[in-house]
Amino acid sequence: APAVRDAAARGAPLPFWVARGSVLLAFVTFAGLHWAGLLEPAEPGRSWAAVGLAALVAFALLATARLARPLRLIAATLIAIAALALALLVGGLADEFLRPDRWSALLTGAGRGIEALPGVTVPYRGVDEWTRLAIGAGGVALAVLAALLAFWPRRDRTGFPAAALLALVTLYAVPAVVLNTQIEFLGGAVLALLMLAFLRLEKLRMRDAPAAGAVAVAAAIGALIAAPALDGPDPWFDYESWAVETATARSVTFSWNHDYSPLDWPRDGRELLRIKAREPAYWKARDLALFDGRRWRQDPRERGENPAAQLPASPGNVARWRQRIEVSVRNLRSDSFVTAGIATAIDGESSFPIGGGVFNAPDGLSRGDSYTADVYTPSPSERQLRDNTDTDYGDWMRSYVAIFVAAAGSGATTVGASVGPSVPHRVVWPLWDEQGEPEAERFGDTEGSAERILEDGDMARVWALAQRLKRGSSTPFEYVERVEALLADGFGYSERPPRASETLDGFLFDSKIGFCQQFSGAEALLLRMGGVPARVATGFTSGSFDDEQREYVVRDLDAHSWVEAWFPGFGWVTRDATPAAAPPRSQAGENAGAAGSIGLPGAPNLGGERQSDPNIGRGTAPDDGGGGVALPLAGAFALVALILGGLAERRRRRLLPPPAQRPLAEFERALRRARFHGGPGMTLSRIERELSGWPGAVGYVRALREQRYSG
């Protein structure tokens, strides 16, 4: 305050640290509150914390002014490191990540969050913690960077004002561009005034301030009037299209319906998803519940049903195997949510159920999207399934023991391939605990036994095989085991199978070579013919487990197809007959050894007998014995400030001139701050004449001259 009053009295500019610091804090407040709107719910408290942190940084850097230059630069560097660490904490980072042993995880996660930003929709409502951190901490970091640049010590001056202004403008421009606001022109006018003040206020003489302010306000008003007329219908640079194209170029999509020709899924190791989960699972995108006579595909009749109807009537098991997963989309485009088992609810994006515990994504999923899902993922042990004698399936399971079969000579091959008499028959098998023969239906009418249709049609060999396997089985699970044992004996894996594998009959009896679609399709077909409700599921194996981030990394190599079989009391249980050496299964096996099995054939630590890591899915849980570092960091920052302050005061006293010369030394510092360069031969009398326009300054110089040369 005294410095301001003195400047006003003399008509001189404000001290630079007053002018620059006040405008900096006003700028950070204005831009930071706009930045807070990038997250939903908005977090204005974080913006006010950024203002306080920027003020602390500016004060700390100014406090180093009396240090020797090498020591001053060291001090400034330490202040910058501490300030950026505090910026991350204010931005929402868990303090455990500031420990050296967690820096690798911090860099990986932060890079992932920044990488996702081009495809993120704002305000961001997602749950991905790294994306939220990239947005929240990004604003705080820009404020801190601006303060560092504004007051960074240099040899002949202080700071890099132009670079600091660039950081401040970025802090405002990003939300102004990507958010729809109703006062963008007014915000632009305020931005222009702040920019002008940041660059010129410290050079403006106080007596000229009213006139300069009036001119600036008039210019801003003129700009407000002209701006709407200059605002064209098309942007100069369509950043939204660029962001979409950039994200899309790296993203892949999958066609989940079965097609038994050579596999054409992308297989280049691209990261598609990150999933936090308490227990590993197969991540499901679609259910294929309809066999159309040739292949498995999604059943269009499964739409809008209550997902809870797919849960077993066993509250204990439902409670045991229910979990919430957090999914972050990386390089995947999908029209359905990737979840696991039976999804009962989706949070974070618009959705609606399409049957089988699967949810559709009306707006599509793409890079940067994230959501949480409540899922039921049963993983009973083989022993639990073997001891289960319950065969009370219920009538609603009949659609899961039915397939379409074309009659011999009909010319029909699949549902929808023909009309009239050649439409394939729908054959429904009796459930396991029922007696009777499979029945044929067409156009909704029962036509009696399907024996003739099966024996004369394309499914004759498959039906005979199913009968043979069932005759040696006493329980549904024993039948499932026999089917899987068959597919494990003499069958090979290839993503380029021979032509005979383009039908499931040819795969089972002729080529015996295929990939996950053939293995899962054949298993589901045989299970239905044996009266065991089954369906095909498609999506991804559990992927690899990231120990640092405590989450599963799913890549395109993990794309997979498997079977879900219904066991009363447990519900839909994952079964996988694809050879364990197949690429997606082998990755799941490696992961199972590190993070727990998902109870699949051939996997170690089966089902209910495994021990899982309780910290899986808790991305911010510190390691055992770890502690918070926010308070220690703040204490270290304060200690450094005290040490530097003590050193500075000690040096200041040591370098003080003798008492008689102190007024002159103070005057020389004032001249340097005012950027008054007199050159060689300059005397106090000449300076007094040069400053004749400022009476206060003339009086000060005259008093100094008289004191120095009197007596």
Kindly report, residue by residue over 16-56, the tens digit of the pLDDT: 788 888 889 998 998 888 888 888 887 888 888 999 999 99
**Position 620 in a domain:** no
User: Which pLDDT value is given to residue 20?
Assistant: 86
Q: Clarify whether residues 413 and 487 are in a common domain.
A: yes
Question: Of 54-68, 82-96, 608-622, where does mean pLDDT reach its minimum?
Answer: 608-622
User: Is pLDDT above 60 for 693?
Assistant: yes
* pLDDT above 90: percentage of residues in the chain: 35
Q: Clarify whether residues 604 and 671 are in a common domain.
A: no
Q: Are 105 and 548 in contact (CB under 8 A)?
A: yes
Give the pLDDT mean for 288-310.
Answer: 83
Q: What is the mean pLDDT of the chain?
A: 78
As separate numbers, helices (DSSP H) first and strands (DSSP E) second, the chain gives 22, 22
**Position 217 in a domain:** yes
- Which domain-ending residue is among 609, 625, 645? 609
**Residue 699 belongs to what domain range?**
658-711
Q: Is 46 or 710 the better-scoring residue by pLDDT?
A: 46
Q: Clarify whether residues 433 and 520 are in a common domain.
A: yes
Query: DSSP letters along 39-66, please?
Result: BSS--HHHHHHHHHHHHHHHHHHHTTTT
Residue type present at position 395:
D
User: Is pLDDT above 70 for 419?
Assistant: no
* 295-331 burial: b if 16+ Cβ within 10 Å, else e: bbbbbeebeeeebeebbbeeeebbeebbbebbbbbbb
Q: What gap in Å lies between CA 660 and CA 708, rounded to an integer?
A: 8
Banded model confidence at residue 69, pLDDT cuts 50, 70, 90? confident
- 97: alpha, beta or left? (left if phi > 0; alpha if psi -120 to 50): alpha
- Which domain-ending residue is among 546, 575, 609? 609
User: Which pLDDT value is given to residue 39?
Assistant: 86
Question: Of 533-542, 597-606, 678-687, where does mean pLDDT reach its minimum?
Answer: 597-606
Q: Are 569 and 390 in contact (CB under 8 A)?
A: yes
pLDDT tens column, 152-179: 998 878 889 899 999 999 988 888 877 7
DSSP 203: G
Q: Clarify whether residues 284 and 204 are in a common domain.
A: no
Question: Of 202-211, 436-445, 576-585, 697-706, where does mean pLDDT reach its minimum?
Answer: 202-211
pLDDT tens column, 96-154: 888 888 888 888 888 878 877 776 777 887 777 888 888 889 999 999 999 999 999 98
**Position 641 in a domain:** no
User: Which pLDDT value is given to residue 189?
Assistant: 72
Q: Clarify whether residues 213 and 321 are in a common domain.
A: no
**Position 651 in a domain:** no
Banded model confidence at residue 606, pLDDT cuts 50, 70, 90? very low
Q: Clarify whether residues 593 and 708 are in a common domain.
A: no
Give the pLDDT mean for 267-287.
Answer: 91
* 124-140 burial: b if 16+ Cβ within 10 Å, else e: bbbbbbbbbbbbbbbbb
Cα 156 to Cα 69, 181, 537, 672, distances in angstroms: 11, 43, 70, 10
User: Which pLDDT value is given to residue 517?
Assistant: 96
Report pTM. Answer: 0.60
User: Is pLDDT above 80 for 621?
Assistant: no
- Which domain-ending residue is among 230, 251, 279? 230
User: Is pLDDT above 70 for 236?
Assistant: no
**Position 692 in a domain:** yes
Q: Clarify whether residues 436 and 498 are in a common domain.
A: yes
Count: domains in the chain? 3
CA-nearest of 620, 668, 652, 661 to 106 is: 620
**Position 247 in a domain:** no
Q: Clarify whether residues 581 and 673 are in a common domain.
A: no
Q: Clarify whether residues 414 and 559 are in a common domain.
A: yes
Q: Clarify whether residues 281 and 206 are in a common domain.
A: no
pLDDT tens column, 645-663: 555 555 555 555 565 566 6
User: Is pLDDT above 80 for 703?
Assistant: no
**Position 531 in a domain:** yes
Q: Clarify whether residues 162 and 295 are in a common domain.
A: no
Which residues have CB under 8 Å from 70's CB, separation 6+? Answer: none
Banded model confidence at residue 611, pLDDT cuts 50, 70, 90? very low
User: Which pLDDT value is given to residue 199?
Assistant: 79
Give the pLDDT mean for 432-436.
Answer: 87
User: Which pLDDT value is given to residue 626?
Assistant: 39
User: Which pLDDT value is given to residue 609?
Assistant: 32
Question: Of 190-194, 524-528, 596-600, where does mean pLDDT reach its minimum?
Answer: 596-600
pLDDT tens column, 318-349: 899 999 999 999 889 999 999 999 999 998 66
The burial of 1, by beta-carbon neighbours within 10 Å (0-12 exposed, 13-18 middle, 19 or more buried), is given as: exposed
| Apex 508 CA angle, 415 and 496, nearest 5 | 85
Banded model confidence at residue 506, pLDDT cuts 50, 70, 90? very high
User: Is pLDDT above 50 for 602?
Assistant: no
User: Is pLDDT above 90 for 227?
Assistant: no
User: Which pLDDT value is given to residue 229?
Assistant: 55
**Position 29 in a domain:** yes
Q: Clarify whether residues 82 and 22 are in a common domain.
A: yes
User: Which pLDDT value is given to residue 206?
Assistant: 56
